[in-house]
Structure 1
């Protein structure tokens, strides 16, 4: 990440405060918990990528979206958790100016991409249930790959503008980030000058647009899906459709509900303590990354059947 140098920006490093009220006695416990969280994210999402990559039966639009979500979760954990672990393992609180802005860039880019991928996933289920005869034409592997690819490329380009906009501000006062990683709000709160409010409003508007637009379609699509399913008289068909949509709905809830709660609380003036705020942000940032692979494996019927088949074959082979 290229830094825009100004004569008045005096800050060269930032201090990652992490959990403000945490007693140093618990640093080892927290770093161990973060390490195992990263291990779960790493193993779970790499496992999904390997399973879908190896099994030809899973070369379908739905599972391609799962792969993009797994890659997104894996990257998010890799961008945030190593520095968080070093903060509590080795008391390494310092992060350079450029590294902090680079981390902020990837944190918000990957978050926005995740939202778009959930939109594509909801669209996939919406067409499959509501327009089943058009599904093979509208949702091919190539179309889904292009849509996911545009989500990655378009978001990375858009977030460059957000980061460069933040870099135009002056940073010469406090350098303490009250968070476990560098995010836009924490960094902008350290800036000074008349343009701070404008930069903050532009970033918040883009963030809300990137969150609420996909969320609106996700809500619309699943309401439509359940409306269609409830009209069906075939009980087996109902169960099959619901069992296919349930994993996607769970993944969407894990991503959107905590974020909406935090944003709504902020908008209504409901305040948390700093520690609770940090914990909530970590939960809605990292919990989906760790839990999503479990949902893919145990809530998606096709993947579950393939894994059980592989397991049985392994047991037979051992005997």
Structure 2
């Protein structure tokens, strides 16, 4: 069958969770609102603490800063629309807005992956090459590296989005997801090039996920070996307490994502609602829990907050 390279549809309809009974719409919207507020205010808090506390102006915390920035932007890009869908039954999203959201969803996800890689690199150098660490990782090198992650990823994802835009979208416009993303949108395309566009995107996604993940696994494996060689139990605890939250965040980010991409592109099928719930979990839970992990599991951030709280109490007492 021949298709002209013409798009007939003007809007997409975002269904959210297709199997959700209407009587639960209010509950879901409230839960999503609380998640949104947790992401926004929690990560604004982290950004403010790192930016305002001079003792935290170090490479490790600059990386945390960029990680929180990706989290807060992802929440802002995705959640307001799906909350509106369940709160006011606003399911319509214009063609251009949907592709714009898709661009930011995948850009922020890919940048997040590279920032996690930088976190692992930071810990690896700090533990294996402690004397070279101040030379290899400075505030300037980390800032330049993070900026390059943002710039090159933005350009690369723009190519993926423009590639999807070359497809004609004929009649189908119902996106069975909570936001616009590549897999859900290209399923609605028609024409002979759909399979090719999907495979290009799949290969790009696997490179984005598996290359950083391979390095992260190797680096943390070597870090654990280095920790086991330490003779002091206190040093064991200090190093592991620093790395454990990062390993948890990394697993939460990569494992479900890889599973979702592989099942969709290699022909494995499971419940659509389960797929969407899984996607929302790996997209939003790390963004919501990162501030808690950094505040309560990162010793220097805790000390900075405690010191600021004590100074505030002293200043109030003097007044």
Is the pair's TM-score, using the shorter chain for normalization, greater than 0.5? Answer: yes
Aligned equivalents of 2:309 and 2:270: distance in 1?
47
CA pair 269-163 structure 1, distance change in 2 beyond 3 A: closer
Aligned equivalents of 1:130 and 1:102: distance in 2?
42
CA pair 267-12 structure 1, distance change in 2 beyond 3 A: closer
Q: Secondary structure at the match of 1:191?
A: coil
Give 1:12-51 correspondences, 5 Å limit: 12-51=10-49
Alignment check: 8 A CA contact 1:17 1:176 kept: yes
Shift of 1:312: 3.2
Aligned equivalents of 1:131 and 1:259: distance in 2?
32
Aligned twin of 1:3: none
Aligned twin of 2:204: 206
Aligned equivalents of 1:265 and 1:316: distance in 2?
57
Number of residues paired by the alignment?
314
Aligned equivalents of 1:307 and 1:247: distance in 2?
19
Alignment check: 8 A CA contact 2:5 2:168 kept: no
Deviations 1:75-132 (A, max 9, x none): 0000000101110111000000000000000000100000000001100100000111
Aligned equivalents of 1:254 and 1:318: distance in 2?
42
CA pair 212-244 structure 1, distance change in 2 beyond 3 A: same
Name which of 229, 232, 236 aligns with 2:230. Answer: 232
Aligned twin of 2:153: 155
Alignment check: 8 A CA contact 2:10 2:95 kept: yes
Q: Secondary structure at the match of 2:152?
A: helix
Give 1:148-187 correspondences, 5 Å limit: 148-187=146-185
Deviations 1:143-191 (A, max 9, x none): 0011110100000000111011001101012100000000000000000
Deviations 1:241-268 (A, max 9, x none): 2122222222212211222333454467
Aligned twin of 1:301: 299
Name which of 282, 285, 292 aligns with 2:283. Answer: 285
So what's the TM-score if we normalise by structure 1?
0.95
Would you say 1:109 and 2:107 are equivalent positions? yes
Would you say 1:255 and 2:239 are equivalent positions? no
Alignment check: 8 A CA contact 2:209 2:258 kept: no
Alignment check: 8 A CA contact 1:251 1:295 kept: no
Structure 1: gaps spanning 5 or more residues: 1-5
Aligned equivalents of 2:39 and 2:148: distance in 1?
25
Aligned equivalents of 1:8 and 1:137: distance in 2?
55
Q: Secondary structure at the match of 1:133?
A: coil
So what's the TM-score if we normalise by structure 2?
0.95
Q: Secondary structure at the match of 1:179?
A: coil
Alignment check: 8 A CA contact 2:120 2:220 kept: yes
Structure 2: gaps spanning 5 or more residues: none
CA pair 268-14 structure 1, distance change in 2 beyond 3 A: closer
Shift of 1:309: 2.2
Aligned equivalents of 1:207 and 1:164: distance in 2?
16
Aligned twin of 1:78: 76
Q: Secondary structure at the match of 1:15?
A: strand
Name which of 300, 311, 314 aligns with 1:313. Answer: 311
Shift of 1:275: 1.2
Aligned equivalents of 1:78 and 1:133: distance in 2?
40
